[in-house]
Amino acid sequence: MTILSLHNVSKRFGALTVTDDVTFDVPRGQALGIIGPNGAGKSTLFNLITGNIRADAGRIDFLGRDVTRDPAMKRVQAGVGRSFQIPQPFEKLTVFENLATAASFGRRLPERAVTAACLDILEQTELMRRANTPAGQLSLLERKRLELARAMATGPQLLLLDEIAGGLTEGECQALVATIRAIHAQGTTIIWIEHVLHALNAVVERLLVLDFGRVIGIGEPAAIMASKEVREIYLGIEI
Ligand SMILES: Nc1ncnc2c1ncn2[C@@H]1O[C@H](COP(=O)(O)OP(=O)(O)OP(=O)(O)O)[C@@H](O)[C@H]1O
């Protein structure tokens, strides 16, 4: 079953076409990676899927329903969860309070259920021992974990991760990858934008390549990375 479909979606900022006639499907349960040079339009694609910006043309279906005109809040409640490239926690709130805020925003749950859901996510994201620490005191890896946890707290069926591995050491990156793999193994569909290709390749089953807002390839990661067009874009970068 398809969880998300984009049909001929386009977006312009002034004279700049940032999303150019993008069409693709994501089957439920899949992990899809999105790669492409800086400015290719990757984050814009996420903003279109979450409803943070509106498409100029085309249609977006989520769980079989046309959500193209739905506001962001409605899409969160329908099951679209998202982490941001730059973590945006409430610095003075504790890790638990940050999660509880995200959980009550994303799901209409009674307070006890919110607490249970948050405890589950703290366990999954290895933040339990930091539950009562203000977000502002976390290490970079913990901030990334909190960003992931906040996205999970909204109860997503589709989890969008925006460059969550950036800036981590190799060891930290592997630790975060293990957590994301475990979340995926439990059935959450993931779309992950990432420049750290080996992290991406440890999780995703399919890769989409974006360049100047256009999809220039989508398919099995090894085949995509071997294609001439992709190698040209990444010329000089070790992949
Ligand atoms: N709100 C906006 N108004 C005008 N231009 C924008 C806006 N948002 C993004 N852009 C432009 O659209 C283009 C694509 O940006 P986007 O952030 O989607 O790229 P990206 O692939 O995510 O890049 P990066 O890998 O650097 O994060 C860039 O040229 C950017 O400057």
pLDDT for res 31? 98
Residue 138 amino acid letter:
L
Residue 51 domain flag: yes
Q: Which residue has 């071997």 as its token pair?
A: 226
Q: Look at residues 153, 171, 196 and tell me which one is the last residue of a structural domain.
A: 153
Residue 84 domain flag: no
Among 13, 46, 53, 195, residue to substitute to test ligand 1 (most atoms within 8 Å of Cβ): 13
Q: How far is the CA of 100 from the centre of ligand 1 (A)?
A: 31
What average pLDDT does the structure give for the chain? 93
Per DSSP, the residues of 94-162 read BHHHHHHHHHHHHS---HHHHHHHHHHHHHHTT-GGGTTSBGGG--HHHHHHHHHHHHHHT--SEEEEE
Domain that holds residue 193: 1-79+156-239
CATH of the domain at 71: 3.40.50.300
Q: Look at residues 101, 123, 153 and tell me which one is the last residue of a structural domain.
A: 153
28 and 94 inside one domain: no
Cβ of residue 43 lying under 6 Å from some atom of ligand 1: yes
* Whether 53 contacts 47, CB under 8 Å: yes
Cβ of residue 38 lying under 6 Å from some atom of ligand 1: yes
Total count of domains within the chain: 2
**pLDDT tens digits, residue range 81-139?**
998 777 778 889 999 999 998 888 777 677 888 899 999 999 999 999 999 999 999 99
What DSSP designation does 188 have?
A: -
pLDDT for res 84? 78
Nearest-Å Rg of the Cα atoms of the chain is 17
CA distances to 14, 115, 127, 162, 185 from 99, in Å = 37, 9, 11, 18, 22
Cβ of residue 41 lying under 6 Å from some atom of ligand 1: yes
CA distances to 41, 191, 217, 234 from 226, in Å = 22, 21, 11, 11
pLDDT for res 237? 55
Q: Closest Cα to atom 4, ligand 1: which residue?
A: 13
Among 42, 86, 193, residue to substitute to test ligand 1 (most atoms within 8 Å of Cβ): 42
**pLDDT tens digits, residue range 138-152?**
999 999 999 999 999
What DSSP designation does 206 have?
A: E
* Apex 154 CA angle, 5 and 31, nearest 5: 40
Of the candidates 85, 88, 89, 61, the one whose C-alpha atom is nearest the C-alpha of residue 158 is 61
pLDDT for res 105? 75
Q: How far is the CA of 19 from the centre of ligand 1 (A)?
A: 10
pLDDT for res 228? 85
Q: Look at residues 153, 170, 191 and tell me which one is the last residue of a structural domain.
A: 153
pLDDT for res 235? 59
What's this model's pTM, rounded to 2 decimal places?
A: 0.94
pLDDT for res 85? 72
Cβ of residue 39 lying under 6 Å from some atom of ligand 1: yes
**What burial class does residue 126 get, using C-beta atoms within 10 Å of its C-beta: 0-12 exposed, 13-18 middle, 19+ buried?**
middle
Kindly provide the b/e burial profile for residues 69-107, where b requires at least 16 CB atoms within 10 angstroms of the residue's own CB: ebeeeebbebbbbbbbeebebeeeebbbbbbbbbbbebb
- Using CA atoms, how far apart are residues 13 and 61, in angstroms rounded to an integer? 23
> What token pair was written down for 33?
């990676």
Residue 202 domain flag: yes
- Complex ipTM more than 0.90, yes or no: yes
Among 34, 43, 160, 161, residue to substitute to test ligand 1 (most atoms within 8 Å of Cβ): 43
Residue 166 domain flag: yes
**pLDDT tens digits, residue range 192-229?**
999 999 999 999 999 999 999 999 999 999 999 888 88
22 and 2 inside one domain: yes
Of the candidates 198, 91, 105, the one whose C-alpha atom is nearest the C-alpha of residue 147 is 91
CA distances to 24, 44, 133, 239 from 17, in Å = 18, 11, 43, 28
Cβ of residue 17 lying under 6 Å from some atom of ligand 1: no
138 and 38 inside one domain: no
Q: Which residue has 């290895």 as its token pair?
A: 126
178 and 218 inside one domain: yes
For the cut 60, the answer to whether the pLDDT of residue 10 exceeds it is: yes
* Whether 42 contacts 36, CB under 8 Å: yes
